[in-house]
Each structure stands twice: as C-alpha cells, then as structure tokens.
Structure 1
Amino acid sequence: MLAGALTAMSLTGAGVVTPAQAEQQTPARHTVTYDQHSVLVDGKPLYIWGAEFHYFRLPSPEAWRDVLQKIKAGGFNAVSLYFDWGYHSSKPGSYDFTGTRDVERLLDEAERAGLYVIARPGPYINAEVSGGGMPAWRSTQTGVNRTSEPEYLKAAREWMSRINPIIARHQLTRGTGSVILYQVENEYQGGRHDADYMQTLIDWAKEDGIDVPTFVNDGGANQNWVSGKGAPDIYGFDAYPQGFDCKDPDTWKNLPDYSYVNDWKPESPLIIPEAQGGAFDPWGGTGYQDCAKLTGTDFTRVFSKMNIAAGVSGQSFYMTYGGTNWGWLADPNAVYTSYDYGAPINESRQLTDKYQEFKRLGYMVNSVTSLARTDKAEAPTPSDDALRIDRRVNPDDGTQFFTVRHADTRVKDKDETTLSLKGADGDYPRVPQQGAITVDGRDAKLLVAGYDLGEKQRLVYSTSEIMTHAKIGDREVALLYGRAGEAGETVLRYTARPKVTVLDGDVTTTWDAERGDLRLNYTHKGLARVLVNGMELLIADTAETAHWWRQDTSAGPVLVRGPSLVRTAEQTDGTLKLTGDSTKAAKIEVIADAKKVTWNGREVAVTQAPRPVELPALTTWKYKEEAPESAPGFDDATWTTADHLTANNAALNGSLPVLAMDEYGFHHGNVWYRGRFRTTGAATALALDAKTGNTGQYAVWLNGRYLGSSGDGTHNFDIPASTLKASGDNVLSVLVENAGHNEEWGHDYSKEPRGLLSAEVIGGASTLTWKIQGNRGGEDPVDTARGPYNNGGLYGERAGWSLPGFPDGNWKSTTLSGQAAKTEPGVRWYRTSARLDLPQGQDNALALDLAEPPGGSTGYRAEIFVNGWLIGRYLPDTGPQTRFVVPKGLLREQGDNTIALAVWSTEAGAGPGSVKLVDLGASAGGIKVGTVAAPSYDAKTYAMPAAGAQVTVDAEPFLATGTATKVPVTFSVPKDAPTASNVALALKVPDGWTATTDDPIRFDRVRPGDTVTADYTVTPPGDPVHYAVLSATAKLTQPGRPGTVTGVRAVQVPPPALSADAYVSDLTLVKAVNGWGPVEKDSSNGEDAAGDGRPLSIGGTTYAKGLGVHANSQVRVYLGGGCTRFTATAGVDDEVGDGGSVSFRVVADGRSLTTTPVVRGSDGGTGIDVDVTGARWLDLSVDGDGDVSSDHADWADAKLTCAGGSS
C-alpha cells in the first residue's frame, strides 16, 4: 500500500478495457442486452453516465484523445457520438473518412480511453449544424428528407451503408470495440411519423451488422416510437428543462419528474440520451458564461438526481464538450462560431466547476453498482413539507437510495428535514439521530442506506453522499462528501466494536452495542480521515472532492489526490505509472497497492506548475483590396453559367433562371454572381431577392459602383444617375453570403435555397445573363484536408490568400488599429505572421480576441483564418462573440503561423480595430498534439483561371415569337494572350429554335487584339418563352493546346401584349412560386398536388375565377403595356377556417402598387383596385405573417382591364 499520488477514473466494468488490456490480441466477445431496469453488459446492470462529444467540432484527431481522457477522468463511462453525414460527403457518392473525419480512429480512441460508445449516425442529427447534418447536395434532389420516399432513401442508404459497417466493427459484442447502443434517426417527431422509414433504418442497421440494442431519442417526452412498426428496442427522449434562453440565467423552471415515462415501455429501461448539460447561445445572445450559469452545478445536482429518483438508468449529457463551429459548420438560426454550450469541459478544453459536479456523481454511479437496478418504493414523509423525498430500492440486495430536494426546484430557501428508515438493518424512526439533513436552495442529495461499502463494511446509512469506494490492496477506501459547513452522520454496522482512529478532522463516534452500530458525526470541512477496522473513510466537503481522482488499472483501482487532472494509470511490476495535468504546483498523494509511483514518467512528490506563456503582439499586418469581381471588366469567362430552367427543389419552381447556389454545386460560404443586361427605358432601381440564412448578407455593385447591402430577403437598390450604360452591357455584381443551411425542423426546411434567387430591373425591361462562382472546385474542393465546410467563394479564398506560404510581399502594410479600415465598402484581406515558441510538455489553450476601433463603425464582418483554417466569423454588429478559441492542433506551437482576416465592410470606413492572441490557460502535462496536416499555398493549385479568348453573343433581350432575328457571335483574343488557331464557332439554341449563318465560322488563326464575327439568324418558336439561353462555343488551339471558350446570352420571348380584358387565371403564368404545392387556377391551394384544391371561397362567398396560393408565393403575368387596371378580392380561403395570416402585394415592373394589412381567416375578403397603365409585367405576391402554416390565400376574381375591353 502506497500513499502519495493522483489519477483519473478508468472503470474496468464488463467489456470496457484499460489501455493495457486493449493490447490483448484475441478479441473477447461480450453480450449487450437490456431488461426493464437497465442495459446489461455480460448480464450485469450498467448505469450509463454518458458524455456527448462532437468530433467534427474539434478538427484535430490527436486532441480527441485529450477530450476523451478528460471525459473518462470526469466519471463518465460512455461517450455519445453523432456522426455528421454532411461533414463526410461533399457530393453524392463521395465519402471521406480520413484525417479530421477518421471515425475509425475516433472509435479506437474511445475504446482506448475506457469508454463505452453510444453511436448516433442519423441520417439526421440536428446538433445545431448546417442542415442538421443533411449534406447540402440533398437540397438539389427530389424526395422529402426523413421520409420513405425513394429518392431520399437512396441517398440515405449511401450514408448508412458506409457508416454502419464502421460502427459494427467497433461493437462490444464483437470484442473489437466498445459500442453498446445504436440510435435510430434523431428527434423524429411532430408531423413526421413515417413508420416505414424508421423500420427501414432499423433493417439497414441489422443488415450492416449492428447487433447491439437500438434506441430512439424522442425530441422530448412525447411518447413517439414507443411501440409498433419502426419502434427501436429502447425508448429515450430529450430532456432540456431549462430551455435555451440564457439571458436570465438565475431564472429556473420547476424541473419535471419523468417517472411517468416508465409506464410507456415498461419492458425496457428508461434512458435520456440527451440530458441537459448546457445550452446553446444564438447570434445576438448574451454569451456562454450565462448558459453555464443557467445550467450550472446547482442545476446539474438537482436535475440528474431527480432523474435517478424517476428511475432513469441512463443519462448522457449534451454537451459535455461542445467545441467550435469552425468553417461554415453551424446552423445559422441556432448558433454562432462558439459551441461552448456552457458545458463541463469548455471550448478551450479546460475543466469547469460543473465538470467536478459530474465527476462526483459519475464516480458514485460507477462504484455503487446497485443503483443500476432499482424499483420505486414508498418514500418517507419529510419533516418539512417544502421538501420532497423519493426512494428507490434495489430488488436484489435491498440497497436504498433517497433523493432529497425541494418540492419546488426554483426556490432558494435553506430547509431541514429528517427521514425515517426501514430495512434489513432495522428501523430508524429519525435519520439523522443527531441534527438534521440540510437542503440548501436549488440543491439535491442522493443518500444511500443498506449498502455494503466493502466485504466487511456495512453502511446502514449516511447523510453524506458517496463519491466512490473501492478495495485497494487489502484496504477498503470510501470517499464521502457534503456541502461545506453542513453536518453529516454516517452509521456503519459491525458484529463487534470496531477500532476507530480519527487521523484528521473533527469526527465524533458513538457505539451502539445493541444494534452493532458505529455512528460518526461531523461537519463537512476540508478533509477528515478516519480508520475503521481496515477501512479508510475519507469525509470531504465538495471543494475538496475536486482534488480527488480515481483510476482503475489491471492491478486494481487507485485513488489520487492533488493534480488538476489524472488522465491514465497503468500498473506493472509494482510500479504505478500516472499521467495527468497540473495548473499549479501540488503535492501528489496516492492510495494504491504499488511500490513505486511515477507522474508523467518521473518520480516526483509534487506536480509542477505550467511555465509562463509568452505570445507575440499582432501589430504588423499586410493588406490587399479584394472583390475584383465587382469591376465590369473582370474576366468571368471560366465561371459557371447560371442557366438552369428547372430544379428538383420545389421552392425554386417558377422563377427563371434558377440562380440558387446549391443548384450549381456551391454549398457553403460566399458566392459571387455576375449578370449582364441591356435595358430599354429609364431603369431606376434593381429589385433583388436573396436567401442568406440568419445573419447572412448580400452586397450589390452595378458597373463597378457600390449600390448597397441587405440581409436575407428582398431589397430594392436605387440606381444612381449616370450609372447605367445607354448601350452595351451593364454588369451587375452580387456577393451573397450563405450563413448555413437550416436544420430540418419542417417539411424539407434544410432545402431552403441559398444564394441569389432573382434580380429585376425596375423601370427598364431587360433580360439578365448570369454567371456564378463559389468555392474553388465546388463539390470537389481542392483542399480535402480542411474539407468542404472550410471555404466559400471569396476571391481571396479561391486564390489561397488564407494559406501559409502565400506570397504577400507586395501587399501594403498597416498596424490594423483602425487605420486599415476600408474607405469604401467591399472586401479587404489582412495577413500577419505569428511566431510561437510555447513551452513544451504542457497544454496551452489560445484564442484570438477581436475588437472594433474606439468609436468606429460596426458595419463590417470578418472571417478569421488560422493557417488556412476558418476558425470563426466575427459580426460586431450582432455579437456576442469577440473571442475565438483556436482549436488545438491548428497552430504551430513552435514555429510560424499565418493569421488572415477576410473583412467585408458594408459601410465606408468600417473595419477591424485590433486582433490579439491570448492565453486562456495552460497546464503542465497534457498529451502531445501535433499540428494537423493540411496543405500550404501552392501556386499551381491556386492560380486564378483566365480565358485566353472571349466569345460574345450579341442578342437583344426580347425576341418576338416566330420572328427571325440577327444575332452576332464575336470571337476575340485579348492583346496580352497568345494567337488562337483552328478556331471553330458554333451557336447552340434551345430545342424548337433555329439558328443559321452564311458567314464563315472557321478561322485559321486570330491574333492578339483581333476580333472575328459570324452573324446568325435566330428564330424562336411561336409560343412564348420566359427565359432561354443562346450559347456560343469556340473550339481553338492556344498555344499548342486545344481548348474551348463559351459565351452566353439570355433572352426572353414574351407573349403578345394583352389587348382585351382577361382573368389572370386564364393567362400563362410566367412565374409561379408557391409556399406549398403548385399555384392553382380557379381553385384553392388545397394540398401539395396539382388540381387538389376546392372552389375558391372567402368569407362564405364562392368565386369561379382566381388563383389559389400558399404563402410565401409570387405569380407573374405579362401585360405588355396594354392594360390599365387590376382588380381582385384577396383573402384567406375558407378551407382553413380561422387559420392563416397573410398580406397581399401587387407590383408592376418592380414598383409596388399596394400592400394590404395582415389578413386573417376570419376577416373575409379585401378589395384590390390598382392602376397598371403601361406596365409590362405584373407580380402578385402573398407574404406570411410569421408562421406560414394554414396560409391558404386566394386572389379571387383577379382581372385585368386592357385595351379593347372585354374579349
């Protein structure tokens, strides 16, 4: 027996192995089953004390070990792992499980740490990640997500067929891993109840080799998937009783008692796969310090112990380590860059007070194994009715568990009680016999009675709580604790009077010879030590327990006191080898059956403090203007033509061309659009509609002149005088920030489009020809190490400006302290180098602090790159985040580091003030984490493409039906490009069109600065065409290499101008966007299929003519300038009763004519009568008033008065 050192807990329960045992060659298979009480491992009940950890929020595989060891050291016996489909798949059929996505390594690390694994592969995970884990490419496919529709199942099967076999290989039942549970889907509730889908997921899991029990995580205690087809083996549910509003962290809700859930599925255990371990904080929130307080140690004590009292035998706490939403990983509606979550292990991987509370409870549930199998029993009545006592009893050994708390968990009063105890050890009408049990406000106690603390140590009862106990060598050791200053009483049973020696502390003893009871009375203060018949009884206050750690080795358990963390313990040949961390010098005390102890490889009696960390000041920066895409002469010839006329995404139907970025393979971050147009008439403004997601924005330039910016939605940008060209092309440049995709909380919500949706010239008829450019490579990103979420389509990102090694020698210099703010809105990049020489042999946590200059504008935002990794988005006008943790492994701790900022200013003079590298704390020890492998700048890879020639299609924006029109196609070679030879021109027109030419279309060579032209005669069909693209290609050789250059021009073939009165429902709908199902003519919106509406009816009046739509909707018809008046009766259709709340808008040529107040289902019809004289286009829009459910709107009797009168 050796006293003198420390260690972290590593439970060697059935099937969970220590590092030494993991080296065995022959896999030992195990069984994982369950009964009504708990999950059973090799037939033994297991109380699951789980920790949620997201590997995708820590892009550093070596750092995974750090977090997993801390989880294990904190008393957790299981780790819960989501697997993010979108994180692994940039395009259909492509899956990456390497580097930061190596889940085989992740599962190996979990097993090596001694943790069971709860596998949660989705396909949907929610998790406040972009798309809820759905890959963004799903937004371009058919099949409603999370249903049994074939196209969705085809995509989901791709994912499950790849992730399931990996999980299966790591099952405890195979002896090659530690996976014990498998979750089917996630929070599948609300309007979703597709039993075929759920059953399909279960069947796939079985086909792929999953043989551990399956479970469901209901989105609350809502009784979904308890039984029937599609119901997994075990029912579980989310429990977040404090919610997610951290603004008033001192306000509690009266926490619920979940014992009623036992009745729903009595044949299986009650588990909570997501028990509240913190809360997320949204953009504009108050910060995670408040979330940590809202769900602090007091909440943890009360909530988790209430769940034990309710019969819950499995709790996994979400989150235990939150991490960082690096790149474009976040769901913008929920969270910003930090995902600290107020978790027990904070974002910088440091341990909090809450971690210690989880440790106290975790050690208890792992050492007092009787807790895993209990039944509800009659509880004694507290002597104070403000309090509540719950009692559970193990049916096999009779151990009793009493949970004592306030009946109303919100109160802050301190109260006292006694309780009566009956059991195998006799009746005790008053416990404690001396004094009372004190229950402070917002506190709870879990007391144990009738329990064998060891082979010869019978605990009759204790008003102190058990932290842990073990037999170490030939000595029993038990650690009890209570709140500082509160009295405690412990009664032990012996056949004869034991020898008692009080080594430390003020403890009085009383011997009851008749009962054989030894009663100890004391006040919890620091640490008391008592020797009783071969047992060392340690009695601590809660603060003292933070210094104690338990580890289980192949030679038996050890207890260690002193260091800040004990990671591992390994005992061989009488030597106990401990590893761990220390944030300050501390004496090491070890209770172990060992002859020798080493700490981090050295024989020491005192842990060393970490050495000071010196960090460089980030005062010298280089900067360069960006956004050349806003200039009219920018070469976009190699960009993708945005010319799609159809989309699988129903939200894009009716608006041409389809502009949404996902449709062109650009799914994350910023995307550029460039539209060319010629205008007829006096254009006054541009009407743009973009979907950016929450906190996203877009900015607009016309012919290089900045027009302004907007957040998500529609906005009109005035055109300043002299900006438009009277002849030739005008160039509209639009930069759109996609802040992320929605989670799937509704019908295909994650498929909500991103990017520019439409752009129209107000006051001047035109047709825009579009090009689009997003991240380099699109769905095939050039940087596979950092992956698809890391980069968007800013010019600097595409050119490698964020990367180490980029040559910025010709950039301008600045100190950044406000002096570098842009004088004009736009994008500017800043780069600096930080050389680090951090002390080795310790864990250093670093962050970047950003601030705007004093008195400066907050009208800017910044993307923050560290060595090419996008570690955060800084939005000073939104907040709250100003500190950005740098995930471990992204900085070179001995060497040069590149820090880059992409600053997008929307106001003149706005820009960053200061950037500081800050030390968040260090600890001696830790584990070695190297720099994550990722490529530096490569000139060839990041060379910006440039076309050596140009093709231009010179067509008018509007063509007449069935009428031949001359369309010149021009090929030119820039003056600085090489000669093009073997040039062959061709013009492609849509089906049903004709294009002919008598001019030469082949040219032997075209020299630099020269131009050749072929005039085509193009004839459109006799029917109207809303949008068509004429595409000219030139095949050429330049220089010595064959190539192709393309030029495009969009045109419209409108219907003839209306010359007689007409109902809108009788006209061709040039645009028909609807919030649910198709736009219906002469019937209500109905359901989601065409033709399923009912007769139009508003306020009890039926209408024969009109349009039935669903908010949000937009319908467009062509007038041609021949109409004078539009009339209609607008209202919510009677088919939804009193439901629905909408407003109606009428717009002509981009100018708003009228907008109604909000109309509800009970309001009846609203008359609309507006002047449309001279208008070419008419738009009828319906906007929802917040929630768009039941927003069935009618344009009844919608009629146009036109020249010529009635038809």
Structure 2
Amino acid sequence: MDVTLTPRGLHVPPRDVNSKVEPRDQLEGLVEWDQYSMIIRGERMFIFSGEFHPWRLPSPGLWLGIFQKIKALGFNAVSFYTYWGLVEGTQGKVRFDGVFALDEFFKAAAEAGIYLIARPGPYINAETALGGYPGSTARIKAPLRGDDPEFIDTTELYAATVGKLIADAQITNGGPVIMLQLENEYDTWPDVNNTDFPAQLNINYMEHVKQQFKNAGNVVPQMNVGIFLGDELDVTVNNRFQSMALMPTPCDTICIGAHPDVWPKIRWPENWQLMHQKYSSNTPFFVAEFQGGSGTGFGGVNADACNALVNQESIRVLWKNNYRFAIKIFNIYMTYGGTNWGNLGYRGGDSSYDYGVSIKENRHIWREKYSEEKLEANFFKVSPAYLTAVADNASNGSYVSIDQIATTPTSTNTTTYKLIVLTSAGNLTIPKLGGELVLTRRDSKIHVVDYDVAGINLVYCTAEIFTWAQDASGKRTIILYGGAGELHEFAIDLTTLTTSAQIILSDTTWKYRSRIIHLRLNPQPLLTPTSLYASDYGFHSGSLIYRGHFTANGNESYLFLNLTGGNDFGYSFWLNNSFVTSWDGTGLGGGEPSHNDTISLVSHSLESGKPYVFTLLIDHMGQDEEAPGTDAIKSPMGLINFDLVGHVQSDVTWKLTGNLGGESYHDLERGPRNEDGIKSAGVGFFTTTFELDVPAGYDVPMSFVFANSTSTSAVPTSPSPSTPSIATISRNHRIQLFVNGWQFGKFVANIGPQTSLPVPEGILNHNGLNTVALTLWSLDGGGTRLDGFSLEPEMPLWSGYRKPWLAPQPAWREREGAY
C-alpha cells in the first residue's frame, strides 16, 4: 500500500524491511519496538490513545463507560496522569484510596480492552494547581524539578508508592500498562535557558526519576514529553527506550474568544519528521499530547465555544497533517476532560475541564468531532502497511495538479484539484472519468493507492476508507465515505478478484472504477515583618480569611493592599462588623492574578486608643503551573503586602485561616483541596436535601444550573405589606456548590462563563437522599440574591451502563478545633 496525504505523502517500504526488533528481557513477546512502531503481544500496532484523568471524574463506577466510549472511537489506549498533590496533602502520608485508588481504573481499562500509558509526574502540569505538586512544595527553598536533595527527598515516598501501583499493573503482570512517562514538559517551555536551568542539573534529575521508577519495579518503555536538551537523555538504558514525544497545540490551549473561523498558528506542525530523525530515530514517532480541544477560564467562553474552534475541521486537517510524519503513537489531549472539582485546577481555569473535546463533561458524545475521530482511527486499524511507513519530504503540491493546496490555518476557500500519483497501473491523473476532486473550507483527505483489502488490490481510491472486513467465507466488505456533494472514484485490480464485486452507494456522487504563626518559609522575598503568605501556614486552596488587629491613633485615612488570588479572583473587606468595600475581579486589572487597592477609611472616623479589626476575605482561584527553572508555583498567595497610613506595619497583628487543619486536613475521603475557610460576614451558607429516584437502567446525566443575572433591582425586605421596606439588591456574587460534601464548582455571576455545573452519578445519589449546600458571597454592601437554581436532567445516555456505586459521603459532624 502507498498512502498519499494531501498535500504531502508517506512512503511505505516492503513490510518489516530494516526492522530491528530485539529481545528486551521480560518484555519479550509483550512490549517490543523498532524504529517503525510498537509491537504488543507480537502484533504491530498504531497506539491511538485518548487522555483521561480518573481524578477529574471522582466516581469510579463511571470509568468503565468512559473507556468504552474511547474504545468505540477505534482507539486502543488511554494516557492518564496521577496527581501527587491530591494524594499527599499531608507531607509523609500518601493516600491512594477511595476515589483516588487506581485499582478500579486499571480493572476497567482491562475490561474495555484498553492499554494504558501511565504519567505519574511527579510534575504533571495539566492545568492543575501547582502543576500537580502538593502545597508543601511551595516552602522548599531549593529549586523545584532539580537535583537538590531538599527537593528530591520530598518526591521519594510518592514515587515509590505510585511506582509500585503502576508496576503491579504492567502488562508483564497481566495488567494494561504498556508505557511510562517520567516528569512532563521538562524542557519545552519558552525562555528557559541553560543559566536558569542548567542542563546537567536536569540530566541528573531525570536520571534519578528513571531510577525511582525502576526501583519500584517498572520495566515497560519510558518516555518524556518534549525536545531533549541533549542527546544524553535520548538513550536506551537497560532495554528501555527513551522516546522523544511532542505536545503541540496549534490552536492554543485556552480558547479566548474562540471564533471558529480564526485558527491561531501556534506550534504549527511542519517539519516533525526531521526532528524525530534528529532526536529519537531508533524509536517509533510519539506525539504524546496533540490537541483534542482547549481549556476554559473564568471570564472567557464556554466549552462549546472551544469545541467550535477545535472542531471536526480541526481534526480533519491537523490530525491528518500529523499522519504524514509517520507518527505511530498518537495521544489526544484531552478525549474526556471531566471537572476541576474541589479546587484542584490552576489559577487560569474555571470549574469545568470539559475542554471542548469529543466526550463532553457530562459524558455525551454528540459533538461532530467524535464521529470524525472515529472515522480516522478505524482506518488505521485496518491499514497495517502504515505501521512500517516512513515520512516523505515531498513539498506542497507534490501529488496534486495545483500548488494552492497546502496545510494552512487561514484559508476557508473551496479548492478543486486532480490527484497525480504513481500506482501499479502506472502514473495516473485522477479522477479518470471526468470532473475534479474538492476540498471544502478546511479539509484534508487520505487518498490511497495500491491498498490491500485481504488480497484484493485497490489501485486507487479518492474516497476515504472507514474500515473493511473479511468474513469466514472470504467475502470482503469495505466502507468508503466522502463529503456531501463530492465526486469520488476508485479502481480495483480485477486480476486480484476471485469473485464478483458488489458496490453499494450512498447519496454522495460516486464514480466506480473498479488541572498565623510567626514563621518564614516561602523562599520568595518578604514584604511584611511576619509572613502573610497562605502557603507558609498550610493553606493552599479555597477561600482565605485574614483578620488584622490594631489600635487606632486617629490618623488612619487609607489602607493599601497588595493581594494575589489567581486569575479573576475577588475580595471583600470589613472594618469590625461593617462592610467597607469589595473588588469583584473586573475593571482595571480584571482577570489578573494580583491586584493592588487603596481603601479609604476617612468616612469611618476611627477613634484614637480604641481597638479595631480588619477582616479580609480572598477567593483563592488556584496556584500557577510552572516552567522548569522558574519556581513559579512558589509564588505566594493571599495578602502579600499592606500599608496603613499613620502606622508602621508591625502595629497590625494579623491572623489567617483557610481549610480546617490546613495540610493536616480532616476530610480524607474528598482530599486536601475540597474545603476552605469561608466563614465571614457577607457570606451565607444554605443547605437543602432532596431525594431522587431514577428508573433502573437509565444513565441520566444531571447538572445544577444557576440563573445568570448581574443586574440590580429594588426588592421588598419587610414581611409586612403595610410597612414596606425596599432595598437595592445586586447579583454580584460568588457561589460554591457542594453536593453531598463534594465541592463541585464555582459560579461567579458577574464574570462567568459557567452557569451549568455537571455532577456525575456517584457523587449525586440518583436513588436516594442528597444534600446540597451553597456558599453565597455578596460582593456588594446591599446584599445579593440568587435569581434561580435548579437541578436539570439531560439527555439519557445509551451505553454499556452499570449503576455506579456511591463515592464516600461522610456526613457533617462537629470537628475538634472548628470555630
């Protein structure tokens, strides 16, 4: 078979020519490889993988269904991260249990027939707070992701624990794990140079990580994401390969604006075959994270708008462009995204991790890209000759009649062309029976020549192949497809036919031719006499409350605050019990992770000699991720600096609180980031209970929906009609949703975009009692009201549904130390 990809091509040599498959100890017969492809259990295989993070769907009973939907795409693998910060919230105690256990994940993958690519970090990025690190790492003075023992020692327990879990699930032990990624995005970030992050340092660190997982019993092939800083990392060690893997996002990672007709040209794939030959020529070409969608953030657009950007056209053009580089391990980030529940996301994201991908956050699969992905993946399942194909270096237009055809992000024109190819029947210009082929808007085609269908030679075909099969009697059935209104033509070598051919045509036009105590720990510069950084006290997520005690001298006219809370954060400020002001995250500086404010106290007439208390409530939106060598995740959060006119800083004594216990958190079932310290004037806590009784066998996704109004209105505040009292109420508020104790998202009324928060069965009890709680934080002095709040069922899913068991739901109880 020869495969032509418009505009460039692939060359397929005779099968297995120059293949150098060598024995690899205990992997022999299970996982092998050469320069062409992976060989699993003796079968050459294109590893077509989808990214899925189990901790973003904390209902293990639903994991099998996700695996089945990925399998139905034609994919044969899933790549997954483990999140160090969720399992070691208390330093020295690693908890892989409950919804964080991996056993059920491995079991479900095996049942669905899915291989796994394990990505345990320790650093994962993944739009998570601190890039997946525990909050305690923000206090490490040594550079993170380097070879200093202060940092390395903190990783040992986690690496040993997760490494053993993964090792036990390797294919060598009868499990589904066939590959292991160490670290993540280690040298691919821009503006990271050898001075900031010395090459020898990262080489030492990567060798240590490799040894950690080897010591835990991991023997499957290892890889890293990125272009290596030196050939030292591109080596085979103890019968492992270290494969170069890329992570391009041509349409960017955050779909700001997300106009579907504007494709930003970010990391556009052009010369990957040359890079692969330079860095990792002895291993199959691995694209570890290719764009399946884009993330959302507060103040941006919703996930459906991201899908409109990275849509089915994107899949057709960008994925098919990749195939011409002869990639043989292809992972799509994401394929199912899930939810940033429990404050696990980074500062730039919102509560959804739908990502605009083919399987929606609520597990629906109606987006058209799901079907396009299925068409492409299934083609490779029945095209074994691709597995030994090598990339050609042909230029644009090499196989077509015009030079206007090229992979470009800009054109939405319709272009007609003829295909010019060398076949077993000679040089042909196609179509031969008249007319022209067409690319409509953004499109790409896989045209095949001399394609083998179980011994029948398909000399050429302008339509694309979905799949083909041969039954027990020898009958071959091939399914071809094309776009609406297109003309297609194919030819069969009649000499390879042993029986008659039956052609079944559809409506297409065809032509047939055969994610305060006084101490100083955070290494960042200190701007106050005592550290006020939240991480120094073990508070890493949710809302933060500061109280500043001082004695007035009568000169307090203004208070300056320098705050950091993450993108689109907000704050409210009180003097004693009186509301003074808020910042709602908009206006000057809106959307930024830090904010400076100067607050007037003139109208409050503070009396000299009297004690006063400032109360400051900050909405913690999550920490940043980081590039190697930057230590960005150590950036302090909370109250960074202050200045009270008429006083030195030491006149004000501050206290800080967050979630009860901080790193010694109480709710072990829901993890270290689920709770916060929100308890303050201006914040209401509302609860209700209700029962559900969904009919047996029905898989009904449900979402909590908030009415979205940011207007103000006059409403009655007196219960007596004869003495009406009218107040102005705004809708300028922030809400957290708790479902049976699980924090399942934030609603920021004045910023958006989310108004609908999906909650999976298992967290939500579909056949019994549920408790729902809302924290309602008004950012205005006049109070607020919620216009509407409902639980809405969505379209039922038809799948291999098994009723999921309930995630742990320990009930409320009074806790020691609570106040």
More displaced stretch, 159-168 vs 466-475: 466-475
For the structure 1 residues 278 and 496, does the alpha-carbon distance in structure 2 shift closer, same or farther, using more than 3 Å as the test? closer
Residue 402 of structure 2 corresponds to 385
2:774 aligned with 1:761, yes or no? Answer: no
| 1:183 maps to which of 174, 181, 184 | 181
Instruction: Give SS of 2:146's match.
Output: coil
Alignment of 1:842-861 (within 5 A): 842-853=698-709, 855-856=711-712, 857-861=730-734
Residue 904 of structure 1 corresponds to 777
Question: Does the 8 Å CA contact 1:700/1:732 hold for their aligned counterparts?
Answer: yes
CA distance in 2, matches of 1:721, 1:855: 27
Q: Deviations over 1:844-899 (max 9, x none)?
A: 11112212457333421111112221111111221111111113322111223222
2:117 aligned with 1:106, yes or no? Answer: no
How far residue 413 of structure 1 moved from its aligned partner, in angstroms, is: 2.5
Residue 168 of structure 1 corresponds to 167
2:352 aligned with 1:338, yes or no? Answer: yes
For the structure 1 residues 429 and 945, does the alpha-carbon distance in structure 2 shift closer, same or farther, using more than 3 Å as the test? closer
Question: Does the 8 Å CA contact 2:325/2:390 hold for their aligned counterparts?
Answer: no
How far residue 42 of structure 1 moved from its aligned partner, in angstroms, is: 4.1
CA distance in 1, matches of 2:710, 2:231: 61
CA distance in 2, matches of 1:504, 1:229: 53
Residue 740 of structure 1 corresponds to 622
Alignment of 1:51-450 (within 5 A): 51-172=50-171, 174-189=172-187, 190-191=192-193, 192=197, 193=199, 194-218=202-226, 223-225=227-229, 227-229=231-233, 233-243=242-252, 244-247=254-257, 248-253=259-264, 255-257=268-270, 258-265=272-279, 266-333=281-348, 335-351=349-365, 352-377=367-392, 381-388=398-405, 406-423=406-423, 425-435=424-434, 436-450=436-450
How far residue 505 of structure 1 moved from its aligned partner, in angstroms, is: 3.9
Between structures 1 and 2, the one with greater helix share? 2
For the structure 1 residues 503 and 224, does the alpha-carbon distance in structure 2 shift closer, same or farther, using more than 3 Å as the test? closer
Residue 784 of structure 1 corresponds to 668
| 2:659 maps to which of 757, 770, 775 | 775
User: Which amino acid counterpart does residue 752 of structure 1 have in structure 2?
Assistant: S
Question: Does the 8 Å CA contact 1:832/1:898 hold for their aligned counterparts?
Answer: yes
Instruction: Give SS of 1:347's match.
Output: coil
Question: Does the 8 Å CA contact 1:126/1:743 hold for their aligned counterparts?
Answer: yes
2:721 aligned with 1:838, yes or no? Answer: no
CA distance in 2, matches of 1:463, 1:487: 9
Question: Does the 8 Å CA contact 1:462/1:489 hold for their aligned counterparts?
Answer: yes
CA distance in 1, matches of 2:304, 2:269: 25
Question: Does the 8 Å CA contact 1:703/1:723 hold for their aligned counterparts?
Answer: no
For the structure 1 residues 650 and 142, does the alpha-carbon distance in structure 2 shift closer, same or farther, using more than 3 Å as the test? closer
For the structure 1 residues 753 and 383, does the alpha-carbon distance in structure 2 shift closer, same or farther, using more than 3 Å as the test? closer
Instruction: Give SS of 1:62's match.
Output: helix
CA distance in 2, matches of 1:41, 1:169: 18
Question: Does the 8 Å CA contact 2:59/2:807 hold for their aligned counterparts?
Answer: no
For the structure 1 residues 898 and 446, does the alpha-carbon distance in structure 2 shift closer, same or farther, using more than 3 Å as the test? same
Q: Deviations over 1:601-645 (max 9, x none)?
A: xxxxxxxxxxxxxxxxxxxxxxxxxxxxxxxxxxxxxxxxx1324
Alignment of 1:842-991 (within 5 A): 842-853=698-709, 855-856=711-712, 857-907=730-780, 908-939=782-813, 941-942=814-815, 945=818
Instruction: Give SS of 2:232's match.
Output: coil
2:681 aligned with 1:664, yes or no? Answer: no
| 1:750 maps to which of 633, 637, 660 | 633
Aligned-pair identity (%): 31
How far residue 361 of structure 1 moved from its aligned partner, in angstroms, is: 0.9
CA distance in 2, matches of 1:362, 1:905: 49
Instruction: Give SS of 1:709's match.
Output: strand
Instruction: Give SS of 1:743's match.
Output: coil
CA distance in 2, matches of 1:758, 1:253: 38
Q: Deviations over 1:44-96 (max 9, x none)?
A: 43212110111121111111111111111111111011111112111211111
Q: Which runs of 5+ in 1 are unaligned?
A: 1-26, 389-405, 508-521, 533-641, 797-824, 947-1207
User: Which amino acid counterpart does residue 390 of structure 2 have in structure 1?
Assistant: D
Question: Does the 8 Å CA contact 2:99/2:807 hold for their aligned counterparts?
Answer: no
How far residue 153 of structure 1 moved from its aligned partner, in angstroms, is: 0.7
How far residue 793 of structure 1 moved from its aligned partner, in angstroms, is: 0.9
Whose RCO is larger (CA < 8 A, sep 6+)? Answer: 2
Between structures 1 and 2, the one with greater strand share? 1
User: Which amino acid counterpart does residue 333 of structure 2 have in structure 1?
Assistant: Y
Instruction: Give SS of 2:700's match.
Output: strand
Instruction: Give SS of 2:353's match.
Output: coil
CA distance in 1, matches of 2:246, 2:482: 31
CA RMSD of aligned residues (A): 2.7
Relative to the length of structure 2, the TM-score reads: 0.85
How far residue 338 of structure 1 moved from its aligned partner, in angstroms, is: 1.0
User: Which amino acid counterpart does residue 915 of structure 1 have in structure 2?
Assistant: F
Instruction: Give SS of 2:162's match.
Output: helix
CA distance in 1, matches of 2:410, 2:604: 66
User: Which amino acid counterpart does residue 147 of structure 1 have in structure 2?
Assistant: G
CA distance in 2, matches of 1:101, 1:439: 47
Question: Does the 8 Å CA contact 1:332/1:740 hold for their aligned counterparts?
Answer: yes
For the structure 1 residues 855 and 264, does the alpha-carbon distance in structure 2 shift closer, same or farther, using more than 3 Å as the test? same
2:487 aligned with 1:487, yes or no? Answer: yes
For the structure 1 residues 202 and 715, does the alpha-carbon distance in structure 2 shift closer, same or farther, using more than 3 Å as the test? same
2:568 aligned with 1:695, yes or no? Answer: yes
Question: Does the 8 Å CA contact 1:52/1:316 hold for their aligned counterparts?
Answer: yes
